[in-house]
Chain A
Amino acid sequence: MSELRYLLFLGCVIPYRISSYEISARKVLDKLGVELVEMPEFNCCGFPMDPVKHDLMLTLAARNLCLAEQQNLNIMALCNGCFGILNHVNKELKEDKKLKEKVNGYLKEIGMEFKGTITVKHLIHVLAQDVGFEKIKETVQKPLNQLRVAQHTGCHVVRPGKIVGFDDPENPSTLKKLIAVTGAECLDYMDEMECCGNPISGINSEIPLQLAREKLDHVRAVGAQALITVCPFCHMMYDLNQSRIERTFNEKFRIPVLHYPQLLGLAMGFSPDELALKQLRVDASKILTEVIAQR
């Protein structure tokens, strides 16, 4: 397998609502010499079906893994949820013979078989481990030295720690280091690992808004000019829902929420339009003016 070639697993949330993440990710990955291969076929990663039928989740995930095995390519996911479930199922099926037999029994019905020959990565693993900080640094032409941001790594890219085995799930540093490479300062704030709450939005509309409000409150308290995410589902909570949070709690945040590739892209010298910054719900032009003024 060529080192910087991956099967891109887009997932559902990105094409449904958050194209800006895909557009910016493709731009920066291309610049870094990462080759993306499109999925030949697709179905949902399985995550949304785990609460209703565990075996259905397993087989939906396994089918995607089989598609990657057929291409002899590792998967790269942009979404924490897709990464979490595909990686979890991949590791479980590789380690648990009985489970593999069971799932392969289901897959036989559609003429597929899980073999266990590939690995699953998230965008930030690819950037930090495979591309490497040095190489990313070389592509940074317009460091964002005056910008002060905060990061939200999200849950499934580090938890459960035993399964993911990457970074410290209590106090992850990968995204912080990736932000530092862009020249921006990454500020610490309270409860950085707090969940966005979005997975229960369909069940309860209040609790996720309360969680997101608290996050934005903590981010604002340290004076961050933007929040940086690496998951479309978390991004929805903080960007798409920010005005709703403001209305509900009678607050004013106006904190732009950028996908990490948008931040990196700006540091690489891409224009805001090339990185689809206009698609963000919370206006990012204030920080862009500052960024561009420095150039």
Chain B
Amino acid sequence: MSKNKETKGKETEKEMMVKLSDIDPKFKYEISKLPGAENVLLCFQCGTCTADCPIARFSDFYRPRKLIRMVQLGLKNKLLSNDVIWLCSTCFTCIDHCPQDVGIASIVRALRNLTVEGGTMPVVYKELASNILKTGYTYIISGLRLKKREDQGLPPLPKANLESVAKLFDVTGFSKTLEKERT
């Protein structure tokens, strides 16, 4: 029993070991300049965010407190190649409950944005982005649906200005990111 425990403990320790060569000491400052992430240095690891996180209750991996600590330590590469950052459901409970006013959900958002800039985007977001570019709407609304609206006496759906939408994708630099994804 005790041996098992020890082995387990050692494994965890090994997993948690941070090599100095993995660290980007300036990463926390980079993050702290991003909107909503200004207070990342103030996190004192109380764990309120993880305790109150609805996703953490059902996930074995998503731990907002751990993510913030990893930012503070500068584990940039580990964070930006980690699928776990896509599990935040943006309920904002962590933001409301944090005693240090650390915008945890916004920091997770910043990590996602950086990951996407680095060339990795979950398929679902590629689909949604492409739908918005094609129709202005996040989902493709079928002709059948549009006909049904009419039958139900609902007014026609507002039309999208696709030229403007495409322009906004361009000027914010997101078109380029999408192109990179395609190639």
Chain B nearest CB, measured from A267 CB (Å): 22
**B149 CB contacts on chain A under 8 angstroms:** 15, 19
Contacts of B158 in A (CB 8 A): 10, 38-42
Chain B residues closer than 8 Å to A15, beta-carbon distance? 137, 141, 145, 149, 157
| Residue B17, interface by CB 8 Å | no
Residues of B within 8 A of A (CB): 34-35, 54-55, 58-59, 86-93, 95-96, 109-110, 112-113, 116, 121-122, 124-125, 128-129, 132, 136-139, 141, 145, 148-149, 152, 154-155, 157-161, 163-165, 167-174, 177
Shortest distance from the beta carbon of A195 to any chain B beta carbon, whole Å = 4
Given A38-B155, A199-B90: A63 touches B164 (CB 8 Å cut-off): yes
Q: Does A43 reach chain B (CB closer than 8 Å)?
A: yes
Across chains A and B, which 6 residue pairs bring their CB atoms closest together, nearest first?
Answer: A202-B124, A195-B91, A42-B158, A159-B92, A12-B138, A16-B139
Contacts of A10 in B (CB 8 A): 157-158
In this assembly, does A207 line the interface, its C-beta being within 8 Å of a C-beta of chain B? yes
Check if A44 sits within 8 Å of B138, measured CB to CB.
yes
Q: Which of A56, A197, A206 contacts B172 (CB 8 A)?
A: A56
Residues of A within 8 A of B112 (CB): 51-52
Chain B residue with minimal CB distance to A206?
A: B58
Q: Write the nearest CB–CB distance from B57 to chain A, whole angstroms.
A: 8
Contact A55:B160 (CB < 8 A) given known A19-B154, A44-B136, A200-B89? no
Q: A156 contacts which chain B residues (CB < 8 A)?
A: 90, 92
- Taking a contact as CB atoms under 8 Å apart, the answer to whether A48 and B92 are in contact is no
**B96 and A41: CB pair below 8 A?**
no
Is there an interface contact between A49 and B129, defined as CB atoms closer than 8 Å?
yes
Main secondary structure of the interface of B (DSSP, over half): helix
Residues of B within 8 A of A210 (CB): 58
Contact A52 B164 (CB under 8 A): no
Contact flags A128-143 to B (C-beta < 8 A → 1, else 0): 0000000000000000
Q: In the complex the two chains form, is A16's CB within 8 Å of B141's CB?
A: yes
Q: From residue B116, how far is it (CB to closest CB) to chain A in Å?
A: 5
- With contact pairs A52-B129, A194-B54 given, residues A106 and B172 touching in the complex (Cβ less than 8 Å): yes
Partner among A22, A40, A44, A195 whose Cβ is within 8 Å of the Cβ of B89: A195
Please judge, given known A-B contacts A10-B157, A12-B137, A106-B172, whether A51 and B93 are in contact too, CB under 8 Å: no
Q: Number of A residues whose C-beta is below 8 Å from B? A: 57
* Beta-carbon contact of A169 and B96 below 8 Å: yes
Which residue on A lies nearest to B137, using beta carbons? Answer: A12
One of A44, A160, A195, A198 near B96 (C-beta < 8 A): A160
Please list the residues of chain A having a beta carbon within 8 angstroms of any beta carbon in chain B: 10, 12-13, 15-17, 19, 22-23, 26, 38-44, 48-56, 59-60, 63, 99, 106, 109-110, 155-156, 159-162, 169-170, 193-195, 197-200, 202-204, 206-208, 210-211, 276
Highest count of chain B CB atoms <10 Å: which of A10, A43, A170: A43
B160 & A23 in contact (Cβ 8 Å cutoff): no
B182 to chain A, nearest CB (A): 14
Q: In the complex the two chains form, is B172's CB within 8 Å of A16's CB?
A: no
> What CA separation (Å) do A210 and B138 show in the bound complex?
25
A95 to chain B, nearest CB (A): 13
Given the complex, which residues of A lie within 8 Å of B137, measured CB to CB?
Answer: 12, 15-16, 42-44
- CB < 8 Å neighbour of A48 from B58, B89, B110, B138: B138
Q: Which residues of B contact A41 (CB under 8 A)?
A: 158-161
Q: Which chain A residue shows the least CB distance to B148?
A: A19
List A contacts of B87 (CB < 8 A). 200, 203-204, 207
**12 further interface pairs, Cβ-Cβ under 8 Å (given A43-B132, A195-B54):** A15-B145, A16-B138, A41-B159, A43-B136, A43-B137, A48-B125, A50-B90, A53-B116, A169-B96, A197-B55, A200-B55, A207-B55
Say yes or no: B86 contacts A200, CB within 8 Å: yes
Instruction: Determine if A63 and B168 form an interchain contact, defined as CB atoms under 8 angstroms apart.
Output: yes
Report the bound CA distance from A208 to B90 in whole Å: 13
Residues on B with beta carbons closer than 8 Å to the beta carbon of A51: 86, 109, 112-113, 116, 125
Can you name the residue of chain B whose Cβ is closest to the Cβ of A154?
Answer: B91
- Chain A residue numbers with a CB within 8 Å of B89 are 195, 197-200, 208
A50 to B96 Cα, complex, angstroms: 19
* B58 near A211: Cβ-Cβ < 8 Å: yes
Residues of B within 8 A of A99 (CB): 35
Contact between A43 and B161, CB atoms less than 8 A apart: yes
- Supply 28 A–B pairs (Cβ within 8 Å), ascending by A: A22-B154, A39-B158, A42-B137, A42-B160, A44-B138, A49-B125, A49-B129, A51-B113, A52-B125, A52-B129, A52-B177, A53-B177, A54-B113, A56-B169, A59-B172, A60-B132, A60-B165, A106-B168, A109-B168, A110-B168, A156-B90, A156-B92, A159-B95, A159-B96, A160-B96, A195-B54, A203-B86, A203-B122
